[in-house]
Amino acid sequence: MRGISGIDPRAFRKRRNLWLAYLSELAEPLLNAAVTKAARGRPASPSQWRNGLIVGHNHLGDVLYRTCSLEVLRRALPECSWSYLTSPVSAQSLKNNPSLLEVLPLAAGEDSWKLSDGGFAELKRRRFDVVLCTNTLRHYPDFALAAALRIPNRAGYVDKGLSGMINHPVTLNFPASYPAYFRSMVAQIANIPPDWPLRPKVFPDAASRSQAEAAWLEAGFDGSRPVLACTPVTRQASGDAPRDVLLSILSRARDVLDFDVALCGAPEDLDQLRLVSHALPFEAKILAGRLDVLAFAALLEKCSALLTVDSGPRHLGNAVGLPVLFTRNLAQLRGETGKYCDTETDLFPDSAELLTQSEIERFASGLSLDAAVAKVVTAIRDGASRA
């Protein structure tokens, strides 16, 4: 159910933000007049766009789940070339992507308006004629950056207010999975059905595969046993079950089936992965900080399955078609953060969502792990057969 000017109250987690959105709509005429006057030209239909910028959240997973729709966007608007603004690390996942003209690793923080030194001037120099503001949560930094760059065509979700800053409005179609939100934006802009798969896309090259092969052999994986990749570290501030849940699933699965374990993560995860390794009752190889994103994707292709928290590696595993088993963020809506690829398995019950931290602790203490362990064992066996 939508309210004033198309605002969807269901999309707000804090009532204060809902009222701020309503207030922003009262200022819609003023916002529209100011942004329109500052723009470097008149708005045009999508068929006339030629030089586009995509902005959004900069975490690896956030970038990856948008990649399922980049090819469709490029085909639907063949005269428009697209640049993607993101962080240096997440930019690695977009390397070799044929749907992009360039990747701009100029983002220096969570929000798109936080740029590296000289980043704003670099963006301004390109004189984009359209920007896709793809954030679904903190959308206002996208809108502000688009206005500051004086881009004449500004597409963004208007379900949360500030519609006066957008002249190509898009609706979230809340609730849906995060990959489906960007798919909906592309579909509405291109006037096509949102019916393509949501699997992310990455493009490892020969150098990436060579790096992965070297790391694989150095770890001593010889093909005699299946290999389970495990990424137990996340940078999400809240919503994750205690790490002991994931490690208990891993240990109990290892009691049932003989397989090797590769503990993976970013360079800054190394100390935590060492603690995890010491806590496990069997040997696990640590592969952290040695591979870039595409080389890690190539390494995942060699594994039988991935056991992970809801973080960037989950989406990377989905991109290479690996069986992915993940523990969902319990503070968020299941419909947004749950399963979106047929090769992944959500290890938590559907009923667990929007929990507080104390509720998550109680949930974890009473959770039966039998079903999760069985799913992990089955995925490893199936993955080994596939490999």
What DSSP line would sit under 261-281, residue for residue? Answer: EEEEE-GGGHHHHHHHHHHSS
Same domain, 113 and 235: no
Give the pLDDT confidence of 172-204 residue by residue, as tens digits.
989 999 999 999 999 999 999 999 999 999 999
Contact between residue 99 and residue 20 where contact means Cβ atoms under 8 Å apart: no
Sign of the dihedral through C-alpha 220, 292, 314, 331: positive
- The CA distance from 22 to 25, in Å, is 5
> What is the pLDDT confidence band of residue 44, given thresholds at 50, 70 and 90?
very high
Whether the predicted pLDDT of 4 surpasses 80: no
Same domain, 149 and 219: no
Same domain, 250 and 367: yes
Give the pLDDT confidence of 68-92 residue by residue, as tens digits.
999 999 999 999 999 999 999 999 9
* Contacts with 365 (C-beta within 8 Å, 6 or more apart), sequence order: none
Same domain, 40 and 178: yes
> Looking at per-residue confidence, does 49 or 238 come out higher?
49
Same domain, 152 and 231: no
- β-bridge mates for residue 264, sequence order: 287
- β-bridge mates for residue 262, sequence order: 229, 285
DSSP conformation class of 2 = -
Query: Would you state the pLDDT for residue 5?
Result: 60
Percent of the chain with pLDDT over 70: 98
Strand 260-265, strand 285-288: pairing: parallel
Whether the predicted pLDDT of 1 surpasses 80: no
> Looking at per-residue confidence, does 1 or 342 come out higher?
342
Same domain, 182 and 226: no
- For helices 28-38 and 15-26, angle between their N-to-C axes, nearest 10 degrees: 70
Query: Would you state the pLDDT for residue 18?
Result: 82
Contact between residue 38 and residue 150 where contact means Cβ atoms under 8 Å apart: yes
Mean pLDDT for the stretch of residues 118-138:
96
Residue 195 lies in a domain: no
Same domain, 255 and 156: no
Mean pLDDT of the chain: 93
Same domain, 245 and 322: yes
The helix/strand/coil state of 233 is coil
- The CA distance from 239 to 182, in Å, is 23
- Can you point out the beta strands (E) in 122-198? 130-133, 153-157, 168-170
Q: pTM for the whole thing?
A: 0.93
From 134, 159, 190, the end of a domain falls on 190
- The CA distance from 71 to 68, in Å, is 7
CATH number of the domain within which 295 lies: 3.40.50.2000
Same domain, 125 and 45: yes
Same domain, 170 and 259: no
From 190, 217, 251, the end of a domain falls on 190
Query: Would you state the pLDDT for residue 386?
Result: 66
- CA distance readout (Å), 101 to 71, 95, 96, 98, 224: 12, 11, 10, 8, 43
Nearest CA to 280 out of 355, 326, 318, 230 is that of 230
Give the pLDDT confidence of 263-312 residue by residue, as tens digits.
999 889 999 999 999 999 999 999 988 899 999 999 999 999 999 999 99
Whether the predicted pLDDT of 3 surpasses 80: no
Residue 201 lies in a domain: no
Query: Would you state the pLDDT for residue 109?
Result: 87
> What is the pLDDT confidence band of residue 387, given thresholds at 50, 70 and 90?
low
Mean pLDDT for the stretch of residues 5-16:
79
Q: Whole domain around residue 269: which residue ranges?
A: 206-386
> Looking at per-residue confidence, does 137 or 51 come out higher?
51
Is the bond preceding 78 in cis, omega lying within 30 degrees of 0?
no
Q: Which of 18-27, 110-119, 193-202 has the lowest mean pLDDT?
A: 18-27
Give the pLDDT confidence of 139-169 residue by residue, as tens digits.
999 999 999 999 999 999 999 888 999 999 9
> What is the pLDDT confidence band of residue 54, given thresholds at 50, 70 and 90?
very high
Same domain, 8 and 155: yes
> What is the pLDDT confidence band of residue 137, given thresholds at 50, 70 and 90?
confident
Give the pLDDT confidence of 322-367 residue by residue, as tens digits.
999 999 999 999 999 999 999 999 999 999 999 999 999 999 999 9
The domain tally of the chain equals 2
Residue 80 lies in a domain: yes
DSSP conformation class of 154 = E
The helix/strand/coil state of 306 is strand
> Looking at per-residue confidence, does 99 or 18 come out higher?
99
- The CA distance from 90 to 86, in Å, is 6
Residue 200 lies in a domain: no
- β-bridge mates for residue 17, sequence order: none
Same domain, 47 and 176: yes
From 139, 159, 190, the end of a domain falls on 190
